[in-house]
Amino acid sequence: MKNLCLIAVLIVLSFGSIGVSTARESTAAEARVESVAGVFDYYLLTLSWSPTYCLSHTDDAQCSGQGYGFVLHGLWPQYAKGGWPTSCLPRERLSVDERAKGLTLFASRKLLEHEWAKHGTCSGLGAMGYLEASDKAVGAVRIPQQLQPFGAAFYFKSWEIEQMFRQSNPGMPADGIALICKGPVLSEVRVCMDKDLQFGACGKGVRTQCRAGDIRLPPMR
């Protein structure tokens, strides 16, 4: 009798395991289906505070006395319900002209090629179209005067930085911007835009991730 009960338990566990495995495979398949070029809801324009990046990447080209403040990290297609498409097909290499255009926007060739392969391919615009959209998006955001590159560290609360951006960019909604920090240091400012590159609300999962107190902005390098 004990053996029969043990066999029954093993059968139930086996079917449960198959169900979990099937569910995981189904979820993975759905994720692959979702990553289709042009199928997304809005853009997330990500601007990195270069001095923070350079604290841990001293050998990067942008960190050799360029004096950068905010630089383009990327223009990322996003889903309103959370998540994003990635590395969409076809993943074509950048042409000479496209690479030349990209290097007027991105701080390094490595970053350009990474952003195109992972995010740009999912825009559905083609490489040049994606780069032109990135150019337009960056041009649409006015960096607050208080956050232009400076020679000494400054400290602000995250809500103060968000407020500066909204005041400098009329039409940017309260839920249309998010800050990312690395510990006590500002890393990125992310601005949500619709497909026409107008300011809009951020989707699920896009929110400020910084401490409640003062956060530091390292000086330009």
Length of the chain: 221
> Exposed (0-12), middle (13-18) or buried (19+): which is 169, by Cβ within 10 Å?
middle
103 forms beta bridges with none
Which sequence positions are flagged as catalytic? Answer: 73, 115, 119
Task: Return d(Cα 24, Cα 130) in angstroms, integer.
Answer: 33
Count of beta carbons in the 10 Å neighbourhood of residue 138: 18
Report CA-CA distances (Å) from 178 to 31, 96, 204. 25, 34, 12
Picking from 112, 113, 106, the residue whose alpha carbon sits closest to that of residue 66 is 106
Task: Return d(Cα 81, Cα 13) in angstroms, integer.
Answer: 33
